Structure 1
């Protein structure tokens, strides 16, 4: 990692995906098999996977399960979010956090220059990075105290 963290450096590149016509029951199985709460919805175009939406476990529950509708009657495109934010591979961590806060989202697909799927960054990923950085700061404070004690002996 460089001095300026980018979304490309922290994103998970092995992403669970679905297509618009994937059944919701199939999507739920994919989430379970991959131990994720979100699928990035893509279209294959010119050999690339272009991001067209995001489907979360919450989308399935609130749109279909809670109202008591038949899960097998719906496809991913029926309930996926299309008003999504994406991050470019070279966006900074700060820009990503601002976008997540502004839109109130926990998961952001990371895209390349042609809109192709590169990876996904979750709030958990961001918290992990920030925890590492805070640990470095704590280490610096601890080192300062040790240095001071050594100098004053």
Structure 2
């Protein structure tokens, strides 16, 4: 049919990462310093960064701050989500949106064939792409009207 957007084409390849043993308060500072709400947690295996979890600002609030725990006494692996939702580089945009909806997530690490980190895609990335597509549709509607006026003044 034509152009098919893939997850690999829209994901950000610049990912802020952490390791399981990273102190949680350090991870929170890393989020603040990099202006992100999510860290992809990785292990180094044979020179590759393998995705093992995700830590979000919401994880910190709900699992640490709300119950009054000491963030300085915890590590990322104590709080991170290990029930991973990932996408593959060649997944279509539609497959990605369906996964986000089905799993109830806003951010998804993008992985290669061996589970290695490729990037991360967010709901904001998807909305940006879709807004561009809607703009193209609006342009098509506008062009149709102009064409009609030219052909039948």
Give the TM bin, normalised by the shorter chain: over 0.9
Distance 1:115 1:63 in 2: 27
Unpaired segments ≥5 residues, structure 2: none
Superposed counterparts of 1:80-95, under 5 Å: 80-95=80-95
Distance 1:81 1:68 in 2: 19
Q: Give 1:16 shift.
A: 0.3
2:101 — aligned with what?
A: 101
Q: CA RMSD in A?
A: 0.7
Q: Give 1:114 shift.
A: 1.0
2:56 — aligned with what?
A: 56
Distance 2:142 2:102 in 1: 35
- Runs of 4 or more, structure 1, over 2 Å off, are none
Distance 2:25 2:85 in 1: 25
Q: Give 1:135 shift.
A: 0.4
2:129 — aligned with what?
A: 129
2:45 — aligned with what?
A: 45
Q: Give 1:84 shift.
A: 1.6
Distance 1:105 1:78 in 2: 20
- Give the alignment's TM-score, normalised by structure 2: 0.98
2:143 — aligned with what?
A: 143
- Give the alignment's TM-score, normalised by structure 1: 0.98
